[in-house]
Amino acid sequence: MYSMTVCAQELEEQNLYVFVGEKISVEEFEPELEDGRILMDSAFQARYKVVENVYNQLPTDTIEFLAYDHYGIPAFSNFEHVLLYIVKAEEGYVHSKYLYSPLFKTKDNAWAAPYQSSDYNHPYNSDIDVEPIRIEWQTPPSFKVEDHQLDNLDNSFPELFYQIDDRTVTAIYGNYIEELFSLKKQGVLKARGYFE
Q: Whole-model pTM?
A: 0.86
Nearest-5° Cα angle at 93, 91 to 99? 130
Cα distances from 186 to residues 119, 137, 141, in angstroms, run 10, 26, 26
CB 120 within 8 A of CB 143: no
Residue 12 lies in a domain: yes
Cβ atoms < 10 Å from Cβ of 190: 15
Quote the domain boundaries for residue 126. Answer: 105-178
Residue 195 lies in a domain: no
Q: What is the pLDDT of residues 68-115, one digit of tens each?
A: 888 778 999 999 999 999 999 888 999 998 999 999 999 999 999 999
Domain count, the chain: 2
Domain termination residue (choose one: 67, 102, 137)? 102
Nearest-5° Cα angle at 32, 20 to 100? 20
Is 12 a residue whose pLDDT tops 50? Answer: no
* 106-128 mean pLDDT: 88
Ramachandran quadrant class, 86 (left: phi over 0; alpha: psi -120 to 50; beta: rest): beta
Identify the pLDDT of residue 33: 67
Q: What is the pLDDT of residues 27-49, one digit of tens each?
A: 988 777 676 676 667 889 999 99
Q: Phi/psi of residue 173, each to 5°?
A: -110, 160
Task: Tell whether 95 and 155 lie within a shared domain.
Answer: no
Cα distances from 5 to residues 47, 88, 89, 160, 174, in angstroms, run 20, 13, 9, 44, 36
Domain termination residue (choose one: 68, 83, 102)? 102
Q: Phi/psi of residue 35, each to 5°?
A: -55, 135
- Beta pairing class for 62-69 and 92-102: parallel
Q: How much of the chain, in percent, has pLDDT values that exceed 90?
A: 56
> In whole angstroms, what is the distance from residue 119 CA to residue 101 CA?
10
Task: Tell whether 44 and 117 lie within a shared domain.
Answer: no
Q: What is the pLDDT of residues 164-189, one digit of tens each?
A: 888 899 999 999 999 999 999 988 99
Task: Tell whether 28 and 114 lie within a shared domain.
Answer: no
